[in-house]
Amino acid sequence: MNGIISIRGAVTADNSISAISNAAVKLVDRIYFKNNLTDGNVINIVVSVTDDLTAFSAARAIRESGHNVPLMSCEEPNTDGALKGCIRVMVTAVSDLAAHHVYLNGARVLRKDLTSSYSIALDGPSGAGKSTVAKDVASRLKITYLDTGALYRALGLTCLKNGTDPSDAAAAEKCLADAVVAIGYTDGVQRVTVNGADVTAEIRTPEVSMAASAVSAVPYVRKKLLGIQRDIASENSVILDGRDIGTVVLPNAEFKFYLTASAEIRAKRRFDELLSKGQNVTYDSVFNDVITRDRNDSTRSVAPLKRAYDAVEINSDDMTAKQVADLIIHTVCGDVQ
Ligand code: DC
């Protein structure tokens, strides 16, 4: 027996050709994916846009992306309090499944009931400010924060303690085969354990940073840590910071950001942070570590550091961490909270 379902969706976009096209096509793709649709079982797509989106036709972008179904497009009247820059679609399809509505970017606020759980992927090179920003976003949106680098650090530390070279893939795999890494939260603060021992305080040294970078290139390590990250994301609304969250760990994350800054600024921030923790380092050594880690993290063959094609890039050279967090929250909620 085949039923007819109507699936709704909405997404926000800036008023530019590329923003409107990308948003509309991504929304329809996501609706097709979540509802197991092909053009063969879609009856029609109705698109409406708010009257501030004049740069390009959202419906035309959907047609030009290859969808061959009846499409109708209309403009919404500008009503008081309505979300600005919003593309809405209704897809009518033949299906026996319940409709999965899709609300992306700021449009999420339209249907909080349908989108109670969501994931934010925050990737970028070391020292870009990801963890400061992610902590702030998590606390203001009251969602779970997972610092995924802590997992790699914990395994890098385990290699160092064992006298194993973390860049020797075979040796690292042998050393880490029995290591059970786990994440817990005490008063909202993330803690990481290896075989039950809390290593949270030990993983923040420059030596462990380099060991983490080296061990993170080992395929066995990446496989081992994938499940933990996905499990945490599947149970809660989350923000995960890392290198491959938007590309590998959560490719379907509702929100993706790629946070960058110049190597000099990142080194300066990391240097100040280490000094404030009483560590004895020089700016030059921290700068060299940043360069080396950038090279390691972006040239490894498995899950290298890379911006997901659908991630919003933010350069934080001239931004405070608070401004970056505001921008992310604005994108997620349509408003700063
Ligand atoms: O974010 P961080 O500096 O704590 O990360 C430590 C190292 O772990 C980093 O050099 C690269 C690696 N890492 C990774 O490969 N993938 C992640 N998702 C997070 C960190």
Read off the pLDDT of residues 135-145 as tens digits, 9 standing for 90 and up. 999 988 878 89
* 166-196: b (≥16 Cβ within 10 Å) or e: bbebebbbebbeeeebebeeeeeebebebee
- Which residues share a beta bridge with 247? none
Residue nearest to atom 2 of ligand 1 (CA): 149
Expressed in angstroms and rounded, the spacing between residue 216 Cα and the centre of ligand 1 is 7
DSSP codes, 182-194 = EEEEETTEEEEEE
CA of 108 to the centre of ligand 1 (A): 30
Residue 331 pLDDT exceeds 90? no
CA distance 84 to 118: 22
Q: What is the mean pLDDT of residues 203-221?
A: 94
Sheet holding 312-315, edge to edge: 144-147, 238-242, 119-123, 255-260, 312-315
pTM confidence score:
0.68
- The minimum-distance atom of ligand 1 relative to the CA of 123 is 18
Over residues 32-50, the pLDDT tens digits come to: 988 899 999 999 999 999 9
DSSP state of 77: P
Residues 54-89 have pLDDT tens digits of 999 999 999 999 999 999 999 988 776 667 889 999
Q: Ligand 1: residues within 6 Å at CB? A: 126, 148-149, 152-153, 209, 212-213, 216, 242-245, 293, 297
Quote the ligand 1 centre to 215 CA distance (angstroms): 9
Which of 199, 274, 297 is the pocket-test mutation for ligand 1 (most atoms within 8 Å of CB)?
Answer: 297
Report the run of H or E that residue 297 belongs to, with start and end: helix 283-299
The span from the CA of 308 to the CA of 251, in Å, is 8
Q: How far apart are CA 302 and CA 67, in angstroms?
A: 33
Average pLDDT value for residue range 256-284: 93
- Helix (H) or strand (E) holding 102, with range, is strand 102-103
User: What was the pLDDT predicted at 108?
Assistant: 63
Average pLDDT value for the chain: 90
3-class state of residue 19 by DSSP: helix
Question: 173: which DSSP letter?
Answer: H
